[in-house]
Structure 1
Amino acid sequence: MRIGKRFGAVLEALEKGQPVDLSAMPPAPEDLPQASKALTVPLVVPPAVEQVHPVMASDTPRTPVAHTEPQTVLDALQQRLNKYREAGTQARSSGDERKARMHERIAKQYQDAIRAHRAGRKVDFAELPVPPGFPPIPGVEPTTGTEEDAVAATLAAAQKLASSEDIAPAEEDGDEDEDEPPAQAPVSKKPLIPSSRSLPEPKASSSKESLSPSVREQLALLEARKLQYQRAALQAKRGRDLEQAKAHLRLAKCLEAQIIQVRAGRPLDLSKVPSPLTDEEGDFILIHHEDLRLSQKAEEVYAQLQKMLQEQHEKCLLFSKQFMHQGNVAETTRFEKLAQDRKKQLEILHLAQAQGLDPPSHHFELKTFQTVRIFSELNSTEMHLIIVRGMNLPAPPGVTPDDLDAFVRFEFHYPNSDQAQKSKTAVVKNTNSPEFDQLFKLNINRNHRGFRRVIQSKGIKFEIFHKGSFFRSDKLVGTAHLKLERLENECEIREILEVLDGRKPTGGKLEVRVRLREPLSGQDMQTVTENWLVLEPRGL
């Protein structure tokens, strides 16, 4: 009984991840003298201790209790298939449908593996979950390792089997495997994990003594880092973020390879060791760049890059649409490809952010485009006039600038002077710098000689008024005139006009714009220079 209590204390320490010295533990019952073995048989030993005794003291690999050693790969696969079918039946009979479906999916994996092996195709045995206590597949190296390796294997299997159903936390996977063995043998999984860890302990302790202090420090660093990533993978899986869990498991596997390399006496390149996680309980965003120390900073960089890519994507679509209206197929295709590239880069950025990766390295290149300006939203039979704002408009006598109630009236002498198109803005009160921002649609005929004559000689006349009261009429405070000759070669005119009192400047300004769908003659060619964002590919 005393020996059983000692083993119970050792098991508790192993479950908590504390170091355990097994050199002081008693040997296995078969190694004891015959008399003492006879005494130990009638004792009532706790089940967990009884199962662990032969494994803890044995120098040989785990020997399954209730499973015969398979002779061929097909035998091993068939044994495991039968095991998972049996576990699924048992789970369904106990009313646990979710666990039953999980075992059935694993059984389906084994069925596919058996068919592939019989057909001579290559089978990745590492992706197949292993039932607890089963011997390795003949001809395949057994994957024995630490408790963390078992966790990694469990996570990898869960990720492979992930479906549209709700995925339970990682601890439930342990419980599921724990329920499997009763179908064949009363061996629980929980003691098996510490036992597999306990096998190499005496060798590891003796080998560590022969290692130099610097190598021991490297091993401690790598093992602590590996444990950190495995815990991060468990945390990500609890949050149902399988992509993040996979990323952490890949890094944990990389660290395992580096641990093996150091134990073999090879030098370690610290620059290739994965960086530590910023917060074990946080979102596990890995930081590799000196200028991105906080996840908040990384989020800001992602937001800026996404905004730039989105703007460039929209510009490419606009330029493509403009050339399409001109019938220029080559330039249309060129900008469509550029737009597709921007969209692809944006998707890559979204994916990297979703996986918790650092913002990618990037740089800017100056790109110059020859574009054709066109307002495709306008019809060819209309012209848009926008009265934007007045600035420092003069006030009539007896009215202070802050009491000016201004509005603008305009005349466009087309189709003729008698049928001129007229309108006015709304009144903006109590300011001499009113914001009008008002659009007027004027009817035109681009091919009419009268329209061309108005464009070349008359333009548009503006009058600025102060709104009168009930007994007083509106007072004219100034005029302005916009010439339209530039519409021959440009599709937009934007001018800030001088406000005149007769021919005398008043100091006031009036901002207006005029737009056509496209110039009256030729094309409105423009040279655009952009700082083009280029994402650099990630090193693999």
Structure 2
Amino acid sequence: MFLCNSARDLQSFHNDVNKLLSDIDRPINDDELSDGDEEDLLAELHDIAGEIENEKQNEHIETKPVQSISNSNTLSVLETRLDMYTKAVQTAKTNGDTAKARRVDRQLKLIQELLQSARTGAPINENDIPPALFVSTPSSSQPTIISKEVPVRAPSPPPATNSLSIDNKSIISQPPAPVVTTSNNTDEAVERLKSLALQAKAAGDMAKAKEYLIQMKNLQKGTTAAPVPAPLPPPSSAHIETSDNIPEDDNSSALIVPLKAPEPRTVMEALQQRHEELVKRQQEAISQGESSKARRMDRLVKQYKEAIDATQKGRPYDYSELADLPGFAPIPIQQSKPSQVSSSTIGTSATASVKVSQSTTSVRPSQVQQQRTTVPTTSIPQVESKASTNTRKDQQLQTLRLKQEQHVKLALKAKQQGDIDAAKKHLIASKEIEKMIESGLPIDMKLVSELSNEDVEIIHDDELAEELLESDRDTIYRRLQDDLLRQMQLCARNQQIYAQMEGSNNIQQANEFKILEQRCAHDLERLRKCFQNGSKPPLFHYEKKQMNIILVNNDLTDQDLEVNVLRGINLRVPSGYSATSFETYVIIEFPYPPETPQTARTRYGIGSTIAEYSDSLHKFHIKRTDGKFKRLMSRKELKLSIFYRVGFLRSDRQLGIASIKLAPLEQTSTIHETIDIFENDHKKKAEGKLEVKIRIKEALGSIKSSEVSLQRWLVIDHFEENSNNPKLSTSNTTESNNNNRPNNQQSVGYQSIKVLKYEADLLEQQIEQLEDHLTKEQIDQLRIKHQALVKQSDDIVASLRHGGKQVIQEHVRSLEQLMEHYNKESDEYRQRNEIKKADMFLHKKDLVAQEIETFTTNQLELNSSRNTLLCLSQYSVCLTAGCLSEKNKWRENLMNLYARISLCRTINRSLDYFACLSRIRKYGLGQNDSLSSHLNRLLTLVGNLCDFVYYPAECIAWLCEANVFGINRSSRPLRLVSLICWLSNIVISIIKNTIQLIKYKKLLKAERNKDGNSKEIRSPMVPLSEMYKCMLTLLNNFCFFLLCIHWLAIPKFLWSGKLPVFMVGLCGTLATICNIVKMAL
């Protein structure tokens, strides 16, 4: 419908509009429009208002007929929509937009279902019908566009009050307002401009109404070639006003939310406000059972927690990555003046402009300056870059302030120590940083004066240091030694890993850790010397050192993958089961090796809300160098099948399946996740989650995950050498020197021969294992230590040989004190849960106990050479006789010689009875043997009882055979008793040595599983010689076990009395040779 009531010709209006478009760069002057022109336009506006009112009345009258018509035409509407959506699907597939094709296809299926229901006569709700789509015809230069038909709405004119004022400078810097182009449908555009003109008239803005009328006339004449500029609210000469009274459904509106918290003054205060709000929302979501919302809130809480930690530690952080919360003021990341516009305001304006461009709302051109019809694409990135620049400046400012504070602290410390020059230097550096901050200019951080120890903070008034200072000397030395050893292990591990990684930065990190390790090793060596010399504890302090630590699980080996199923959360409870008594378990399936995957099963967990699976730690064997393993880890998943107990004599049923990807182990050594449970192979999600933790020793890939952590670092300031107590030697003067030392140091002055030999064997094995991985200097140091241990052992042996009985007794007393020292050390390490060190001291105590037993009571060991010679002669003769035939005359002579040597051995053993009694009396019931286990103590008591009976029974049996108690006195019962006691002792020895051998093998396996390429010097828990001794003892006992059963001569009992002479000689000779080899080790 065209308007023809204007006073002037429409062509003149057309010329005026063209003139306005050509002079669009200059402001529009209202004086250019004549008064008559204005009167005609106002009259025309009144006519339009009357027509619209008449149309509203007509619509009100005809409401019911239209509704009835629409109800009757539902079938035709559905058929139209069916055709429309079918074409839209084809068009989307033609353009390759699969996502849009799937969305439209779902709506198409809904239309088909509604159409089928409508044909059967069922009522159809019009709200269920998908909206109409506009499918444009494809052209050669532009692809087909599918868009929903949305009615165009214009915002109501903003009032003059309740507005947000913005400076003129910000207006100029803002991007041009978006432009709304006219649609091909002219009638819709005319109606839209009518409504805009009426709204402007109702608001009293006649100038704005005139502009809408001019645009409407151009559309009616069809002379518009340029897009219609989008109107903006009319700003004044100094401000732009943003209305709050915009309808809620308008996309271009931006609501002003009241603040929930006071405006923060600092970045930390803003972060804490938002963090507390997110924690509160997370708890509310958990209490209401909204798991999805709780997870979202949890992620946001973690992000803000990271930002708070970074801010507290002074590290730079990009606050623009944090999610904004409604009702909270922007984070004050820059110190802006009141006259300037903050970056958050600019960001809000940019966001609002983007929303306006996405909608189809017309926006009025500004009265300050007529803007262009095209929107620059670089306007928004400019705002983002400016905000990021401000963020970097704020982070730089924070770093400078932290450095300034550290300079002030160091200046005060230097002044207290009397170092005035250093204090002046730090004050000058602090003043320079203050000038840099006040200037506000960009700063090159390389020009800022560096601190001597920038990543170190001294811990003052430390509770641990105060506790150590109040402790005794032994506790202080022990704690300092443990801390230095821990620091050496940390440095050695990280130095090795960084050295294997590529990059100059990694090499630098490896060198730094190497230097720290050397310093700690030097301090440890001096600490041990001071302890041995009886000096006072050194002066020390603790520091907080910031270090890049590689994440490694040292309690695992390279061949271990540990899976720990912690708990099930909110599990689905089948019908007929109680949630409190619901029992479930998990079957773990690890896909390596692919031929026979490894499986494990957890124990039962009770409950459905939180089902804890206790002792569910399972280790799977892996091979890091295997190509199949690497491929499987990147592609496969760890499968977890959840089953629940059904009842008695009924098989368990599957509750669900969960899986966790193993690919993250390429970069990290630990995966700790809560995963969803599915009903069957990820097809349908079930209720509940499963919390799982997976660990390996270190990441599989070349890039290792690391973290920056604050380490508590021990620094020894000064060692106090004690010249009055020289280093103690192991000569005959040890007793006099030991009197001048504290009682707790006697264990260091006196050493056990067996312990020294044990430590020498350990060093020898270390030299062999680490020869290719250590430097020549380190190898030489190990060899010097090995020679020192051997020399110390030889000196003790020489002093015992020439010192007589008194020196031996003194040595035994010192060994008893040394055994008590090892016992205390073992208990302390066991309390700290350091089992390996505790076992090492237990083994040393065993060696000392054996040495004490050798020097005190076991005279059989001192005369072992004579007994071994007789035993070897006896069984060699028997073996030779067994090789001869029974008719040979030498066989009988050799057997007679065998009997005579056996009699000599019996007499020799009878002399050892008194030594056996002394040993049994001293051991008693084993109350002093606190080191051994209950089983070992019981076996020792039974063995002592058998020895107590064996020696007199054998001696009396021999006297009976010699007719000392009369002729025909039978020795068979006593001989049988002595053989049974001997057999019992053999069995006890086999059990003891078997347990000890299993223990040694476990320790040796654990040592071999450690990284052999590590430069850290490790001490194996047991040398190979000890394992060989156990094996030889077992072979010796086995041979004598065969002979003992043979000599029992019980009819029909195993091989009793059935062994030939040759087998008797062979077993005896082999047992004797084993004993000789064991003595040589």
TM-score by length of 1: 0.36
Instruction: From the two aligned structures, give the one with the greater strand fraction.
Output: 1
Larger radius of gyration: 2
Scaled by the length of structure 2, what TM-score is found?
0.20
